[in-house]
């Protein structure tokens, strides 16, 4: 028998107790490893003044996170601007698919970080480089899911468009996009998740301001509490980003509005 009653508050709290116990044990084993208590009090300090700015290399945590988010959204927005039209084209034209698919398949498995040195050489500037890396990260899931959405438009709907003699423009906006939009949002949600993973590593390599570099910098400062704080904050923000994208995606999905 599986019990039906699940406690969504008590169970995570119980597990938290286990985690803190294990963590404390590790802190005893490894000299210098911050204890849960130390991290907690440091977290309060870090969060108490999140937007101070003492010039390059010494800024509040909110500014660090804000810089990372700005880069992620910059690259993400570019990827949407390029990826959605490209995906529509590939989904609607067999020739466009034949032309572009081999390159997508080859470029998709390349770690976005492999582009970083090349981007740095071309742009000679870290901010643009990071945005470009996020662009390369985000574009593949958006293209692929948009094309998938277009191809999942049923033949019946397209026949309706033919009988009504819709123009190509009307066909895209009245038939194809309503079907494809939920797929596009799935792609965007995937992209944003990976982009948030990649930005941390990219910033460690490029330096400057940003949560990735902040963590690396604290490693060099031997401030291990801050590394753990960084990990926790990255996780919380990643979770919030994903939940927000989920809400937006549901809003644009006709199937999720009681209209199955």
Partner 1 sequence: MSAKPFLKIDHVDKIFPLGGGKEYVALRDVQLDIRQNEIVSIIGHSGCGKSTILNLIAGLDSITNGTILLEDKHILAPGPERAVVFQNHSLLPWLSAYQNIEMAVKKVLGEELSNSEIRDHVMKYIQMVNLDHAKDKYPGEISGGMKQRVGIARALSIQPKVLLMDEPFGALDSLTRANLQDHLMRIQMQTGNTVIIITHDVDEAVLLSDRVIMMTNGPEATIGEILEVNLPRPRNRLELQHNPEYLRCREAIIEFLYSKFAKEDE
- List contacts with partner 1 (CB under 8 A): 154, 156-157, 159-160, 162-166, 170, 174-175, 178, 254-255, 258-260
What are 160's two structure tokens?
């309706």
The residues pairing with 59 across neighbouring beta strands, listed in sequence order, are 53
Query: Which one, 7 or 165, has the nearer CB to partner 1?
Result: 165
Q: What angle do CA 257, 258, 260 make, to 5 degrees?
A: 105
What are 216's two structure tokens?
């690396």
Query: Which one, 154 or 221, has the nearer CB to partner 1?
Result: 154
The residues pairing with 53 across neighbouring beta strands, listed in sequence order, are 59
Residue 165 Cβ vs partner 1, minimum distance, rounded to whole Å: 6
Residue 66 Cβ vs partner 1, minimum distance, rounded to whole Å: 37
Residue 158 Cβ vs partner 1, minimum distance, rounded to whole Å: 10
Query: Which one, 113 or 151, has the nearer CB to partner 1?
Result: 151
Residue 159 Cβ vs partner 1, minimum distance, rounded to whole Å: 6
Residue 150 Cβ vs partner 1, minimum distance, rounded to whole Å: 15
Query: Which one, 69 or 151, has the nearer CB to partner 1?
Result: 151
Query: Which one, 171 or 189, has the nearer CB to partner 1?
Result: 171
* Helix 10-29 with 36-48: angle, nearest 10 deg: 110
Residue 182 Cβ vs partner 1, minimum distance, rounded to whole Å: 10
**CA 89/CA 165 separation, integer angstroms:** 20
Query: Which one, 25 or 173, has the nearer CB to partner 1?
Result: 173
Residue 258 Cβ vs partner 1, minimum distance, rounded to whole Å: 7
Query: Which one, 63 or 92, has the nearer CB to partner 1?
Result: 92
Which of 187, 185, 184 has the alpha carbon at shortest distance from 249? Answer: 185
């Amino acid at each position: 028998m599986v019990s039906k009653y699940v406690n969504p508050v008590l169970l995570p709290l119980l597990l938290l107790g286990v985690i803190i116990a294990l963590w404390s044990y590790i802190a005893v084993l490894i000299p210098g490893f911050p204890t849960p208590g130390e991290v907690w009090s440091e977290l309060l300090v870090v969060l108490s003044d999140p937007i101070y700015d003492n010039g390059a290399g010494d800024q509040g945590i909110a500014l660090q996170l804000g810089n990372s988010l700005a880069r992620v959204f910059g690259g993400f927005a570019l990827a949407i601007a390029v990826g959605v039209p490209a995906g529509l084209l590939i989904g609607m034209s067999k020739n466009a698919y034949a032309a572009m698919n081999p390159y997508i398949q080859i470029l998709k498995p390349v770690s976005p970080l492999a582009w970083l040195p090349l981007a740095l050489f071309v742009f000679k500037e870290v901010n643009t480089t990071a945005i470009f890396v996020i662009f390369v990260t985000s574009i593949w899931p958006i293209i692929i899911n948009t094309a998938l959405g277009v191809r999942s438009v049923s033949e019946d709907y397209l026949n309706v468009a033919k009988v009504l003699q819709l123009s190509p423009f009307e066909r895209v906006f009245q038939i194809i996009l309503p079907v494809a939009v939920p797929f596009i949002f799935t792609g965007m949600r995937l992209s944003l998740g990976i982009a948030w993973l990649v930005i941390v590593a990219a910033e460690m390599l490029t330096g400057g301001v940003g949560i990735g570099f902040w963590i690396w910098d604290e490693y060099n400062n031997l401030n291990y509490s801050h590394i753990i704080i960084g990990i926790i904050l990255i996780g919380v923000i990643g979770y919030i980003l994903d939940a927000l994208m989920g809400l937006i995606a549901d809003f644009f999905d006709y199937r999720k509005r009681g209209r199955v």
